[in-house]
Chains A and B, each alone.
Chain A
Amino acid sequence: MTADHSILSKPAGGKLAVGRFSLRAGSISDHILAGIPTIWLTVFFLAPLGFTVVFSFGRSTFGGVELGFTLNNYATALSGFYGAAFLRTLLFAATASGLCLLVAFPVAYFIARHTSRFRLLAITLVLIPYFSSFLIRVMSLTMLMSREGLLEKVLNTLHLHAGPLDLLDTQTAVFIGIVYAYLPIAVVPLVVVLDRIPKALTEASRDLGATRWETFLLVTLPLSRPGIATAIMLTAVPMLGEMVIPKLLGGSRGVLMGQALSSQYLQSQNYPLGSAMAVLVLLGVAVIVGLLAWITKGFAEVGR
Chain B
Amino acid sequence: MTRILCSNGSSLTRRSMLGLLGAAPAAASLTSIGLGASRAWAATGQLNIYSWPDYFSTADLDAYAKKTGVTPNISTYDSDDTMFAKVNSPAGSGFDIVIPGSSWIKQLAAKGLLEEIDHSKLDLGSLDPHLLNRDYDPGNKYSIPKDWGLLGVIYNPEAVGGEIKTWEDFFQAGEKPGVSGKIRMSDSGWETIGPELWLEGKDWNTVGEADIRKAAERLKSFAKHVKSFSGLDVNSLANGAIVLAQTNQAKARAAIGLNPKLKWVVPGPMSELWVDNYVLIKDAPNLEQAYDFLAFQLRPEIQLAETEYIGFPAPLAGLREKLGADVKDADLIFGGKDVDFSKLTSFVVNPETVGFYSQLQTEIQAAAG
Contact = CB atoms under 8 A, between A and B. Distances in A.
Nearest to B360: A81
B12 A248 contact: yes
Contact of B18 (A138, A244, A252, A265): A265
Contacts, number: 175
A62 interface: yes
B15 A262 contact: yes
B107 A251 contact: no
B88 A267 contact: no
B125 to A, nearest CB: 35
Given A81-B363, A81-B366, A258 B19 contact: yes
A177 interface: no
Contacts of A277: 22
Interface of A is mostly: helix
Contact of A268 (B13, B79, B111, B358): B358
Nearest to A51: B26
Contacts of A171: 369
A18 B89 CA distance: 49
A62 B351 contact: yes
Interface of B is mostly: helix
B23 A278 contact: yes
A270 B236 CA distance: 34
A26 to B, nearest CB: 32
Contacts of A166: 181, 241
A65 interface: yes
Contacts of A78: none
A251 B9 contact: no
A117 to B, nearest CB: 39
Contacts of B357: 267
B368 A146 contact: no
Contacts of B236: 146-147, 168
B57 to A, nearest CB: 26
Interface string A229-269: 00000000010010110011001111100111111111111
B365 A255 contact: yes
A147 B366 contact: no
B354 A269 contact: yes
B9 A138 contact: yes
Q: Chain B interface: which size bin?
A: 35 or more
Interface in B1-58: 9-10, 12-13, 15-16, 18-27, 30
Nearest to B187: A252
Nearest to A168: B241
Contacts of B340: none
Interface stretch (B201-209, B222-230, B317-325): B222-230
B23 A48 contact: yes
B366 A52 contact: no
A74 to B, nearest CB: 14
A135 B78 CA distance: 15
Contacts of A85: 362, 366
B12 A244 contact: yes
A77 to B, nearest CB: 12
A139 to B, nearest CB: 5
B23 A51 contact: yes
Q: Chain A interface: which size bin?
A: 35 or more
A248 B226 CA distance: 15
Contact of A248 (B25, B107, B230): B230
B83 to A, nearest CB: 10
Interface string B209-236: 0000000000000010011111001011
B358 A254 contact: no
Interface in B140-191: 181, 184, 187-189
Contacts of B355: 268-270
Interface string B105-121: 00100010000000000
A270 B357 CA distance: 13
A189 to B, nearest CB: 22
A37 to B, nearest CB: 17
A265 B79 CA distance: 13
B159 to A, nearest CB: 13
Interface string A155-171: 00000000010101101
A51 B26 CA distance: 6
Contacts of B366: 81, 84-85, 253-255
Given A168-B236, A254-B369, A269-B351, 8 more contacts: A63-B107, A135-B13, A169-B227, A244-B13, A253-B223, A263-B359, A265-B24, A278-B23
Top-8 shortest CB links A-B: A254-B369, A278-B22, A251-B228, A262-B19, A51-B26, A266-B81, A48-B23, A267-B358
21 contacts: A43-B30, A48-B30, A81-B363, A85-B366, A135-B9, A135-B13, A142-B9, A146-B235, A164-B240, A166-B181, A169-B230, A243-B19, A244-B12, A251-B184, A252-B229, A254-B368, A259-B19, A260-B362, A263-B358, A266-B79, A267-B81
Interface of A: 43-44, 47-52, 55, 62-65, 81, 84-85, 135, 138-139, 142, 146-148, 164, 166, 168-169, 171, 238, 241, 243-244, 247-248, 251-255, 258-271, 274-275, 277-279, 281-282
